[in-house]
């Protein structure tokens, strides 16, 4: 098939004398696909590409967060001190650090080592809170303890149990607190995996995260339903602070009794 163009190969000469010779240009279809003007992309294709990129970004960020959490658990496997003592067939485990790796592992190790020797585990807490994922792993470790032993959680005098520490405290069957023990409740926040800085997200995402947190950690807990409903209104954009005494007086269900009472 002749090529398109004006070269000699693209001309078909008619018969006849040279002076009457007429040249006819052979026309052929352009084999190149038609292209839209630069910068113009069909709207449907553009929207589909945008959604695909957004989904890939969300999946990548979720994977990064999970890998970072797993790497932290491995890297800090030998860190995090859990104070342990045994008194009268009860193992007393004291944690006075943030809720972070390797807290759950330390409780699991103590349970495996001391479980056959004791009848109860007493968990003393003094923590500013920390990572939700590690807190969830701690709660799962405490639930395994509670399935086989009496489980008591304690926040003593001049001690604090803030943020993610509260769901851990709620895992106890008996929950003791000093009158002046400080508890702090707030909506879950998102933080950058690498810098730790708080990240703002769309309002609907924050609302969905808060609802999920309430269902997972408070609705399934001994917390009083009416008190929980009041809390879900009071903590919008605010930190809600309560003493052990206030939690008992308000019949919150968070603290079962005050220490020394």
CA atoms within 13 A on the CB side of 33: 2
| Whether 99 and 130 share a structural domain | yes
pTM of the model: 0.66
pLDDT tens by residue, 112-144: 999 999 999 999 999 999 999 999 999 999 999
| Whether 128 and 242 share a structural domain | yes
Range of the domain at 71: 48-77
Q: What pLDDT does 57 receive?
A: 64
Average pLDDT value for the chain: 78
Does the residue 73 lie in any domain?
A: yes
Domain count, the chain: 2
Does the residue 14 lie in any domain?
A: no
| Whether 150 and 251 share a structural domain | yes
Residue 244 pLDDT greater than 90, yes or no: yes
Does the residue 35 lie in any domain?
A: no
| Whether 177 and 110 share a structural domain | yes
| Whether 149 and 60 share a structural domain | no
Does the residue 192 lie in any domain?
A: yes
Taking alpha carbons only, the member of 123, 128, 136 closest to residue 83 is 123
| Whether 82 and 70 share a structural domain | no
pLDDT band at 63 (very low <50, low <70, confident <90, very high): low
pLDDT tens by residue, 168-221: 999 999 999 999 999 999 887 655 444 555 556 666 566 676 778 778 889 989
Residue 10 pLDDT greater than 80, yes or no: no
Inter-CA distances, 179 with 125, 176, 219, 247, Å: 15, 10, 25, 9
Does the residue 23 lie in any domain?
A: no
| Whether 63 and 83 share a structural domain | no
| Whether 173 and 67 share a structural domain | no
Does the residue 161 lie in any domain?
A: yes
| Whether 62 and 142 share a structural domain | no
Secondary structure of residue 169 in the 3-state scheme: helix
**Encoding tokens for residue 221?**
């807990």
CATH number assigned to the domain comprising residue 229:
3.90.226.10
| Whether 168 and 250 share a structural domain | yes
| Whether 165 and 192 share a structural domain | yes
Q: Where are the beta strands (DSSP E) in the chain?
A: 11-13, 23-25, 83-87, 90-95, 120-125, 150-155, 160-162, 174-177, 182-185, 190-191, 198-199, 240-243, 257-258
Does the residue 165 lie in any domain?
A: yes
């Amino acid at each position: 098939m002749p090529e398109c163009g004006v070269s000699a190969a693209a001309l078909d000469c008619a018969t006849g004398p040279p002076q009457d010779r007429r040249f006819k240009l052979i026309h052929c279809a352009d084999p190149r696909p038609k292209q839209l003007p630069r910068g113009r992309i069909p709207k449907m294709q553009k929207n589909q590409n945008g959604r695909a990129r957004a989904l890939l970004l969300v999946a990548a960020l979720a994977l990064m967060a999970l890998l970072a959490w797993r790497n932290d658990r491995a890297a800090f496997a030998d860190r995090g001190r859990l104070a342990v003592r045994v008194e009268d067939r009860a193992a007393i485990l004291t944690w006075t650090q943030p809720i972070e790796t390797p807290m759950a592992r330390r409780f699991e190790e103590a349970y495996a080592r001391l479980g056959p020797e004791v009848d109860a585990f007493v968990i003393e807490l003094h923590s500013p809170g920390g990572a939700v994922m590690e807190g969830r792993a701690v709660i799962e470790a405490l639930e395994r303890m509670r399935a086989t032993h009496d489980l008591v959680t304690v926040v003593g005098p001049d001690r604090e149990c803030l943020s993610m520490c509260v769901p851990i405290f709620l895992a106890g069957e008996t929950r003791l607190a000093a009158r002046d023990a400080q508890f702090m409740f707030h909506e879950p926040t998102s933080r950058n995996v690498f810098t730790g800085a708080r990240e703002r997200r769309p309002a609907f995402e924050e609302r969905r995260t808060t609802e999920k947190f309430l269902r997972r950690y408070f609705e399934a807990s001994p917390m009083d339903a009416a008190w929980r409903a009041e809390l879900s209104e009071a903590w919008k954009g605010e930190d809600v602070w309560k003493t052990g005494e206030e939690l008992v007086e308000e019949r919150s269900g968070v603290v079962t009794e005050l220490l020394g009472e």
